[in-house]
Amino acid sequence: MQLKVPIKPSSIVRYLAIGAIILIILSTGIQIGKYVFDYRESWTRILNLDREMNVPTWLSAWTLAFCALLLKIIAQGKKQQGDRSATDWQLLSTIFVLMALDEVLSVHEILIIPEVSKALNLPWFLHSLWVIPGAIFVLWFGKRFWKFTQNLPYKSRRHFFLAAAFYVGGALIMEAIGSHVAEAQGQQNLTYALIATVEEAMEMTGMIVFIYGLLFYLQQWSPNLLLQIDFVEGKGPKPALTSKEAHSDQNPPHSKISRDP
């Protein structure tokens, strides 16, 4: 049986963007209701961008996981073609899996320790201590993948850089600003809440732009990508390929990814 699923990059991004915009508007309204009109119902926590284990958290985690899946598909295709960049695509996929897990488990929150930054007399933009390993990771990431990005088509490279600018701007820069405001004014105020909302909005924007960049790359690299899923039980020998299957395995993978009009 053949299952053909036409994929239109602009449509996927449009739906993701609409979902993100709705969450941003709702979260902003919730913050205004909380700090201006003193509306503090418990249900508002499930839509608050500055809370964990709620709707925005899971949307971000699944978006990162989708990025990891697209990167894995590209990595497998490159590997079948004998392309040396397959290792880079696979490493990116692994990194995004870890980012998705961190989004759910909030591991980086462990490093937000105001007492340590005060004891070390760190500058205001390092009051959120996890910004330090975060910045080190960004520097390593840039050095590790710089040559890789230079070999990408111009439009794909532009999408990837724009996505990184939004995501890093939210995760590090806005995080540092929010940490400074939290230390000076506390977290229970509208100013901090809006900064946290902008931070999460920038991260969401970065992920959506990156997804569009990946889909655009797939569309240009292999406009007819065929994904074959084999269900294997146990550790028995793999069934022999038919001549038709053997022939198809020798060709680059192709998917039904329809082009934008």
Tell me the pTM: 0.81
Q: How far is CA 63 from CA 12, 59, 67, 99, 132, in A?
A: 11, 6, 6, 10, 25
What confidence score (pLDDT) does residue 140 get? 97
Using an 8 Å Cβ cutoff, are 135 and 169 in contact?
Answer: no
Q: H or E segment at 99? A: helix 86-105
Which segments within 75-184 are labelled E, that is strand? Answer: none
Tens-level pLDDT at each residue, the chain (261 residues): 666 667 788 889 999 999 999 999 999 999 999 999 999 888 889 998 888 888 999 999 999 999 999 999 999 999 999 999 999 999 999 999 999 999 888 776 666 666 656 666 666 666 677 788 889 999 999 999 999 999 999 999 999 999 999 999 999 999 889 888 888 888 899 999 999 999 999 999 999 999 999 999 998 887 666 666 677 776 555 544 444 444 444 444 444 444 443
Q: H or E segment at 27? A: helix 9-35
Using an 8 Å Cβ cutoff, are 37 and 28 in contact?
Answer: no
What confidence score (pLDDT) does residue 260 get? 43
Report the C-alpha gap between 95 and 142 in whole angstroms: 13
What confidence score (pLDDT) does residue 179 get? 83
User: Among candidates 158, 157, 196, which has minimal Cα distance to 175?
Assistant: 196
For residue 172 the two structure tokens come to 């590090």
Per residue, what are the HEC states of 167-190? HHHHHHHHHHHHHHHHHHHCCCCH
Report the C-alpha gap between 131 and 28 in whole angstroms: 25
Using an 8 Å Cβ cutoff, are 64 and 99 in contact?
Answer: yes
**Cα 206–chain centre separation:** 7
**Cα 219–chain centre separation:** 20
Report the C-alpha gap between 67 and 218 in whole angstroms: 12
Within 8 A by CB and 6+ apart from 198, the residues are 170, 174
What confidence score (pLDDT) does residue 2 get? 63
DSSP assigned state of 255: B
What confidence score (pLDDT) does residue 29 get? 95
What confidence score (pLDDT) does residue 227 get? 65
